[in-house]
Structure 1
Amino acid sequence: MAKRRITQETFDAAVRENMEEFEMASEEALREAVEQFESQGVDLTCIVKAVAAVSSEDTPEESTHEVLQALDSLRIGDNSASVTEVEADMKRFTEHCLVGFAQRFLAAQKDAYPVILSHCKKSVEEPEALVNALSALAALTNGQPDLLEAEGKQLFLDVLKKHREDPSVTCVAVRTVRHCCLKHEQNRQDLVKGGVLPLLTGAVTQHSESAALVKEASAALRVMCYDDDIRATFGNAHEHAKSIVLEHKGLKVLIQAAKTHFEDTSVLSELCATLSRLAVRNEFCQDICDLGGLKLMMTLLADSYETAELVRQVLSALRALAGNDDVKDAVVNAGGVQYIVIAMNRHMNNAAVCEQGCGCLSVLALRKPENCQVIMENGGALAAVQAMKTHTNSLNVQNQACMLMRNLVARMPQYSQPILDMGAEALIAQALLTHQYIADVGKAALRDLGCQVELRELWTGEHGSLSY
């Protein structure tokens, strides 16, 4: 059942009523209003939960929030204010938008987008002012990609071309592009058609020493390969990934950037996450290996296994690469199984690492009996069992662990008893009771392990008479 929604004005009026009619202090009045609306099933996600400042003693109904005060200053000073005043107001607006989504939503409701876009256009020739204006636009569009329209798209492309030599302008422009493309398929397609992909890969190459820019551009390239807009019947994620790799040498660009920032785990995490998104074809997986990507990931697992986020992203990338059967063998021959198990044991309390670790081992074991032997000998199954014990409430961990056990014994039934001796049957049975979603893979794992399992036949292929 959908929750009810109210306007910001309704919420502010309720707070004001608590203060005036019931003589509550501001904090108490605010808390009472929040509790009142939430008890009525009202969704307050888009509501600024703060006491609005009264702009005049005679007109309390004109009370406003700080983000709108900053917006009004920008609107009033559009033509008359000094550069210093506009810069200060722009930074103040950006800070308030960064507080939370409710502030950004309220600003957008009051037509902040055209105001900020106007300042961006006026600042195109002034890099410092442009950085401030684009920062405000990036903050405003975060979570609100629908605000972007044709004029804004063209502005992004023009700025990225005009200021390609300036890493500061390019970085914030790329961030704004990323915000406007997340969960918005049409924006992605329009910007790709406008030529944004070579601008993004070019930014990584040209400013390879800038960690901030490399991270932003890598994340933006990854977003171009998402299929996350539920409003779009069909997405171009695969086509965009193919274009990045084949037309703009994206794999080479990203792997070279990773080598440049080998000591920066945050940059490496972003680059690995993007590489996993680009490994959408068999030959792309092989290309990543040939370019030194696999060797790089093995080194990261060996040297940086203490960093949970980096480990998670490296495992995710390896999991994607292992879709290629030749790469599976390369990962195992490079000692990948040992590194994966060590990483899982080191971060056993991290559900995301355990999920990716089990998923990676599962892919390595698929249709590869010799790999199954290596996984068993190096404690892969035991690590998966421990992950199931540790993360009983994590559907993804349970699902990937069950898949791993099934793949280990599908062609190597002699491993069934050792896995059962680890307590796998009881853990899978518990997972089936806790997570309905994994019913198919859980029962398949029990069946292949030789356990008793009830398999209900949903349809026999027979049909009776049909009535019209």
Structure 2
Amino acid sequence: MVRVITQQTFNEAVRENADVLGMSFEEALEETIKQFEAQKVDLSNISKQVLGDPIDETPIRDAIRELENCNRDKKESKDIKEYLIILKEQCDKGIEYKVLAGKTGAYHQILTVLLNNKGNKDLALTGFKTMLALMTKQPDLLDDRGVEVIVEFLNIEQDLEILKLCLKWAKECCIMHEMNRQKLYDANILSKLKVLLEDSNSDVLRAVLGILRALVLDDDIRVEFGRAHEHARGIASETLPCLTSLLNRFKGDENVVNDLILTVSNLLVRNEFCKQVAEEGGLELIHEVMAEYGQNDKISRQCFKLLKALAGNDDCKAKIISKGLGPHIAAALNKNINSVSVATSGLACLAALCLRCPENSKALFEVGLPEVILQVMKIYPKDKSIQKTGSWAIRNMVSRSKYQCGHFIELGAEDILKEALKNFKECEYDIKSALRDLGCEVELKEEWTGKGGLLNNVKND
């Protein structure tokens, strides 16, 4: 079970190490982090900045008290706005200020402001900005009342600025917090997001896509089993046709294209979803995107990830190459060869496309992929991810297409792989498998052997 602590506990531990052990604050901070990590304490929501004197709590406490008075007595909105701004400025100073504000009741007072002033755009904007300042990296504050506010404000008729802030708040609530994701999903936020997908400009669309991806995260170490797969399945069932059509509608906007492809990749958790994307014209659209944005490293990386996900369906795997994507894959990998992340994604994509598919291997061989694979591995001899995924790609290309082995050997594949074997013992199985399938001499380790003899049947009396 992962342990969590408060910012105050962390701060006090830093000061105690500084006072008792006579350390500088920098040394005390480093020592405190080591101590808590050794105890398996989650420090993801803790500010790691060097802490000096205790923070001045007065501005935060005064602002919250005045907000409470204003909410109770229905005072002028200008007074409320003034205290919201003070609270936001305090929260912007760091996580310890956010934690203090949260403990002192800021969340409840800001929610009350939002609920009591729905028709006041200026006050609502300030309220959402203050809520974001309070809850960024502090999602634990969200409760059922907050979920209701989020869902209520996600309305297509809503003011555009307020809508974008509400979407941003919802996304922050989902990051590293499984229970918040489940609360929002169970509150049917998806029905609101679907409407916004269909009738929004690019800014709102990107914000909606960000929430869809956040709902399928699995990043909360405090929860043993999450519902990322279930959420992805539900979202894909409801939105995949729309997302595919949006890719066609916004294909001239590279930021939206990048976000759409990334989102679709995260939703392909079942075989039928891959087939659905292909049936909706997704492969043709990826073809167009790669032809248009082949030199864009971000989009190329997302395209590789999407193609790898689609290759999980055997029919899609064959169609990806038959639709003429092979040359675009080679070109994108070549053009972005100086990006480690793109190269790794591209090699993993190739490995998936060639897995148990000699027809794909033949087509990719004919457009020069062996040269590209080995060139990438030569450029990054010390990068484990490149050498590992490169080994996968080589193995899957030649395993059922032995006529390619000679060409790979001529290009220096054996020397590259043996050098990688020296550098990365943890990738021994992957690299040796590639060497074996190339026909190279390699000593394989037998993972398990039986001891012989007969098994005894034990009878219970």
In the superposition, the TM-score normalised over structure 1's length comes to: 0.82
| Residue in structure 2 matched with residue 142 of structure 1 by the alignment | 136
Q: What secondary structure does 2:154 align onto?
A: helix
| Residue in structure 1 matched with residue 69 of structure 2 by the alignment | 79
Within the candidate set 13, 18, 29, 1:37 is matched to: 29
**Residues paired across the two proteins, number:** 439
Q: Could you give the per-residue CA deviations for residues 38-95 of structure 1, whole angstroms, max 9, x where no partner exists?
A: 2674679834747778xxxxxxx6x528xx8457424434434753354355356446
Within the candidate set 213, 217, 220, 1:226 is matched to: 217
Q: Is 1:193 aligned with 2:186? A: yes
Deviation, 1:367, is 1.7
Q: CA RMSD in A?
A: 3.4
| Residue in structure 2 matched with residue 404 of structure 1 by the alignment | 393
Given that residues 332 and 371 in structure 1 are in contact (C-alpha distance below 8 angstroms), is that contact kept between their aligned partners in structure 2?
Answer: yes
Given that residues 240 and 264 in structure 2 are in contact (C-alpha distance below 8 angstroms), is that contact kept between their aligned partners in structure 1?
Answer: yes
Q: Could you give the per-residue CA deviations for residues 329-352 of structure 1, whole angstroms, max 9, x where no partner exists?
A: 222123212111211121112111
| Residue in structure 2 matched with residue 174 of structure 1 by the alignment | 167
| Residue in structure 2 matched with residue 303 of structure 1 by the alignment | 292
| Residue in structure 1 matched with residue 229 of structure 2 by the alignment | 238
1:242-261 pair list within 5 angstroms: 242-246=233-237, 248=238, 250-261=239-250
In 2: Cα distance, 1:157 partner to 1:64 partner: 35
In 2: Cα distance, 1:107 partner to 1:428 partner: 56
What is the letter of the counterpart of residue 79 of structure 1?
Answer: N
Q: Could you give the per-residue CA deviations for residues 213-243 of structure 1, whole angstroms, max 9, x where no partner exists?
A: 1111112112222333333333322322222
In 1: Cα distance, 2:383 partner to 2:4 partner: 27
In 2: Cα distance, 1:349 partner to 1:98 partner: 37
What is the letter of the counterpart of residue 224 of structure 1?
Answer: L
What is the letter of the counterpart of residue 321 of structure 1?
Answer: L
In 1: Cα distance, 2:198 partner to 2:149 partner: 22
1:56-455 pair list within 5 angstroms: 63-64=55-56, 69=59, 72-80=62-70, 82-91=76-85, 93-94=87-88, 97=91, 104-105=98-99, 107-108=101-102, 112-160=106-154, 164-207=157-200, 209=201, 211-246=202-237, 248=238, 250-455=239-444
Given that residues 70 and 90 in structure 1 are in contact (C-alpha distance below 8 angstroms), is that contact kept between their aligned partners in structure 2?
Answer: no
| Residue in structure 2 matched with residue 58 of structure 1 by the alignment | none
Q: What secondary structure does 2:450 align onto?
A: coil
Deviation, 1:409, is 0.7
Given that residues 213 and 263 in structure 2 are in contact (C-alpha distance below 8 angstroms), is that contact kept between their aligned partners in structure 1?
Answer: yes
Q: Larger deviation: 319-328 or 181-190?
A: 181-190
Given that residues 269 and 309 in structure 1 are in contact (C-alpha distance below 8 angstroms), is that contact kept between their aligned partners in structure 2?
Answer: yes
In the superposition, the TM-score normalised over structure 2's length comes to: 0.83
Structure 1 residues 269 and 411 mapped into 2: Cα distance closer, same or farther (>3 Å)? same
Identical columns (%): 29
Within the candidate set 3, 8, 11, 1:8 is matched to: 11
In 2: Cα distance, 1:440 partner to 1:110 partner: 55
Given that residues 153 and 191 in structure 1 are in contact (C-alpha distance below 8 angstroms), is that contact kept between their aligned partners in structure 2?
Answer: yes
Q: What secondary structure does 1:461 align onto?
A: coil
What is the letter of the counterpart of residue 29 of structure 2?
Answer: F
What is the letter of the counterpart of residue 413 of structure 2?
Answer: A
Unaligned runs of 5+ in 1: 23-30, 54-60
Unaligned runs of 5+ in 2: 37-42, 457-461
In 2: Cα distance, 1:409 partner to 1:100 partner: 54
Deviation, 1:128, is 3.5
Q: What secondary structure does 1:79 align onto?
A: helix
In 2: Cα distance, 1:213 partner to 1:71 partner: 35
Deviation, 1:357, is 0.8
